[in-house]
Chain A
Amino acid sequence: MTDFILRIIDLFKGLFRLLKVDYKKFRIILWAKLTDDNRQEKSIVQRKSKKQMSNSLGWIAFIYTFLGIFVGLMLLGIQDLFVSMVFVFAIIMVMTAVALISDFTSVLLDTTDNAILLPRPVDGRTLVVARLAHIVIYIMLITLSLSAVTIAIGTFKLGPVFTLVFLVTLAFSVLFVVFVANVFYLLLMKISGGEHFRDIILYFQIFMAAFAMGSYQLLPRLIEFDALKNFTFPIRWWTYLVPPAWMAAPVDASVNGDLSGPKIALSLLGLLVPLLSIVVVVQFLAPGFNRALSRMETVGTSGKREQKEKRERWNLPGFISRFLTSNPAERAVFQLSWRLSSRDRKFKLKTYPTFGYLLIIVLVLFFIDEGDILQNLQSLPQTQKYIIFLYIGCILIPIVVLQQRFSDQYEAAWIYHALPFIKPGDIQKASLKAMIIKYGLPVFTPLAILVLLIWGPAVIDDIVLAFMNMVISSLVLAFISKSDLPFSRRYGGAAESQRGLSGFLMFLVPVFLGLVHFGMTFIPYAIPLGILITAGIVYTGMKAYGNIGWHSIKV
């Protein structure tokens, strides 16, 4: 794949030379970057599972081609070609920008190869263009995969002219997206002063993950497809400010022969703005970006120090651990897990979006029934939907429990083996408690309050039972992964890809417990009895979990 990509790039050798790029060096740098990506055990995109797949590019292409089916349907569902193309380009450009910002941030911000390349005789422009080309290759791959179905449908429906013009406009739209992303990053660096840049990006990623899930759930409910079918898009002054319209115009103009003034003007914008923007990126933004990046690295360290001092004044995990742990070792691990989970970016990236989903799911629960939302809300107390609300939290916490095994600094877990812990169960139990309190409670409490407000005090016992079941769900998952100590496994390693049973049970256990709970609501006194039984299970389970011996631990 790398060779194939490089051969395609060779076709534009002249263009690169025109940009005063040392093509020979540019090519070899790009080769090294692509080869390195392709051989990384973990793919460039934050993929969740992977079984020694050497060709990560193929995997990215597959995912986005699948997503592209929905994009392609626009072409079939909407009569007017201009309108359908505006939608297609809007989706492609937004998804590409999101992918660029959420999945490729690490690539964009990666300065690790600076130490390899900066001492060598490579000029700044070649380096910048190589870095941009590296990203554009992935972005191109994403856009091509996303539009594969559209291209297939379009070629079949509208002929080869469509294919040709569409591909060219697609390339221009990518250039424009790269420009937008660069502006976005520079603005963010300016606003954040560099110090909290990575945190802001992280929260953006989390927001986008939740937004994607929300759109998937809500949009089909909000859009009236029948109306869209015969929708037309009259060109007004503001149309000239909509980039997808610039890209849609040349496709419509060439396929339908619409050479009206507005279409030509839009097409010209589609051609000139991306070209101009890429010159701006190469000449001005990218060098500024690199400067801002290196500045950010230096400033970032002092910023973190201030943050640390502030945090140390109020030792919340220390305070809580006093009540929930039985010995100093357990107390230390409780605090360690609490802090590590707050500071490990990948942990946050993998778990926090789930909390965003939660909000979406709650919204969906209100929207799920046809009819008036207010009416639905008023009729809620007559339903038993509180079970669903309460068990949403039960689904989320096992995800955290499973995730707390992984860390980028997994090697630091040697400390558990070097310190005099009699049994690793102490370590695991303390970490589990920290996860339940830190992530389970903040999710469960607002849900419980919501349930209490809507259904009244009659459901207090249900809330208690659901909480017990949340702890039981976490315990089940904790037992399944009992061979791993907290933050001791590598992301992308075998442990993460071979979740199998645990990944399945992560959802099944809370759902099963929720169903049992639902059934119990029909039996008199079953809920209080259930609380007693589950309390017994939690007590025994925690005790057994704390007794796990060293022989169970995988080193």
Chain B
Amino acid sequence: MKADCPIITIKNLKKSYDGKNYVLRDIDLDIFPGQIIGYIGPNGAGKTTTVKILIGMLSDFEGEVTVFGLNVAQSPLEVKQRIGYVPETAALYDTLTPLEYLRFIGQIYGISREETEARSLKMLEQFGLKSEAEVRMNAFSKGMKQKVLIIAGLIHDPDILFLDEPLAGLDANTAIVIKEILAQLAAEGKTIFYCSHVMDVVERICNRIIIIDKGVVIANGAFDELQAMNKGKSLERIFSQLTGSSGHAEKAQDIISAFHRKGAE
């Protein structure tokens, strides 16, 4: 796919779970190969719903979504074959060992057992989990499970990688490695769709930032473009400005006064 052709196209995307309230309203986006998209928004803004639609987990939506030029509602399998997804929660069969789990995932993608094992062992080693490769994951920490999820998201060499808070629970060194991996994958032409609440990470690693609030895209551009448009210094400030969340100091004061003992003021 050419770099100037969008790899993901979203047109008039709407989604309602109950037929009355819309969690996504008229989203229009074009995403290009090699971009690292930072997809941010307040809680309940519609980030996860967007991702679930893009990866083919939700099919009953209004509008048109194409990934690799394929209509995601009509050809979800072809899309899924070429994307990777790292969920926010540690959704894995944790009674399996990492190697068993990765073999399982590899087989689903149609990769041979030998190839899956070779790739898995190499990545497990890099993530410092080689000695735990055959230990059941139910004793793993959140960070260790997260590493396995990241490996599972990468094992089939996807063209687009969707990540939902991938750094949650990871130690600082592993987080640096992940950020480096994302940068290198983007340099190879892969697309990264990165959902997070950690603004400084998004600010540093993403070359395009999309802010969504109440199901509507309210900002879309490179960080310096957003800075220029909103006269803000950090992404955190811009985010607060755009999502209408201001007066943080006053809010903090109100909260403190709510739990302060009487007479302590």
Contacts and interface: CB of A to CB of B under 8 A. Distances in A.
Interface in A297-326: 298-299, 302
Interface of B: 17-18, 55-57, 77-78, 80-81, 83, 85, 87, 89, 91-93, 95-96, 100-101, 104-105, 107-110, 136
A128 to B, nearest CB: 14
Contacts of A112: 91
B57 A121 contact: no
Interface in A90-111: none
Interface of A is mostly: helix
A299 B20 CA distance: 12
A118 B100 CA distance: 19
A28 B95 contact: no
A120 B136 CA distance: 22
B57 A118 contact: yes
B93 A119 contact: no
A115 interface: yes
A21 to B, nearest CB: 14
B109 A120 contact: yes
B65 to A, nearest CB: 15
A358 to B, nearest CB: 38
Interface in A238-277: none
Given A116-B91, A119-B85, A121-B80, 17 more contacts: A24-B110, A28-B104, A32-B101, A35-B93, A39-B136, A40-B95, A112-B91, A114-B57, A116-B93, A117-B108, A119-B56, A119-B80, A120-B109, A122-B80, A122-B108, A298-B18, A302-B18
Given A119-B55, A119-B57, A36 B107 contact: no
A32 B89 CA distance: 19
A113 interface: yes
Contacts of B83: 119
A301 to B, nearest CB: 10
A36 B93 contact: yes
A39 B107 CA distance: 21
Nearest to A120: B108
A39 B95 contact: yes
A211 interface: no
Contacts, number: 63
Given A32-B93, A35-B93, A39-B136, A121 B108 contact: yes
Chain B interface secondary structure, helix, strand, loop or mixed? loop
Contacts of B108: 25, 28-29, 117, 120-122
A32 B18 CA distance: 33
A123 interface: yes
B80 A120 contact: yes
Given A24-B107, A32-B96, A298 B17 contact: yes
A112 B92 CA distance: 9
Contacts of A28: 104, 107-108
Contacts of A117: 108
A31 interface: yes
A40 B91 CA distance: 15
A299 B91 contact: no
Contacts of A35: 93, 95-96, 100
A193 to B, nearest CB: 12
Nearest to A114: B57
B165 to A, nearest CB: 14
Interface of A: 24-25, 28-29, 31-32, 35-36, 39-40, 112-123, 295, 298-299, 302
A299 B105 contact: no
B96 A123 contact: no
A-B interface, 4 closest residue pairs, ranked by CB to CB distance from nearest: A115-B91, A39-B95, A121-B80, A119-B85
14 contacts: A24-B107, A24-B110, A25-B108, A28-B104, A32-B96, A39-B96, A40-B95, A115-B91, A116-B93, A119-B80, A120-B80, A121-B109, A122-B77, A122-B80
A149 B81 CA distance: 49
Given A120-B105, A121-B81, A36 B57 contact: no
A122 B104 CA distance: 12
Nearest to B91: A115
Contacts of A120: 80, 105, 108-109
Contacts of B92: 116
Among A36, A39, A116, which residue has the most Cβ atoms of chain B within 10 A?
A: A116
Contacts of B55: 119
A36 B17 contact: no
Contacts of A114: 57
B107 A25 contact: yes
Nearest to B81: A121
A360 B77 CA distance: 54
B109 A115 contact: no
A120 B81 CA distance: 7
A121 B108 CA distance: 7
A299 B100 CA distance: 36
B163 to A, nearest CB: 12
A120 B77 CA distance: 8
Nearest to B60: A291
Nearest to B106: A28
B56 A123 contact: no
Contacts of A118: 56-57
Contacts of A299: 18
A221 B104 CA distance: 54
A298 B107 CA distance: 32
Nearest to B21: A302
A121 B104 CA distance: 13
A538 to B, nearest CB: 38
A40 B83 CA distance: 30
A500 to B, nearest CB: 26
B93 A31 contact: no
Contacts of A119: 55-57, 80, 83, 85, 87
A25 B104 CA distance: 9
A436 B83 CA distance: 56
A331 B92 CA distance: 40
Contacts of B110: 24
Contacts of A302: 18
B31 to A, nearest CB: 18
A114 B55 CA distance: 13
A36 B105 CA distance: 14
B100 to A, nearest CB: 7
Contacts of B95: 35-36, 39-40
B155 to A, nearest CB: 11
A403 to B, nearest CB: 25
Among A29, A121, A122, A302, chain B packs the most CB atoms within 10 A around the CB of: A121
B104 A36 contact: no
B105 A115 contact: no
Contacts of B78: 121
A302 B57 CA distance: 22
A121 B109 CA distance: 7
Contacts of B56: 118-119
B85 to A, nearest CB: 4
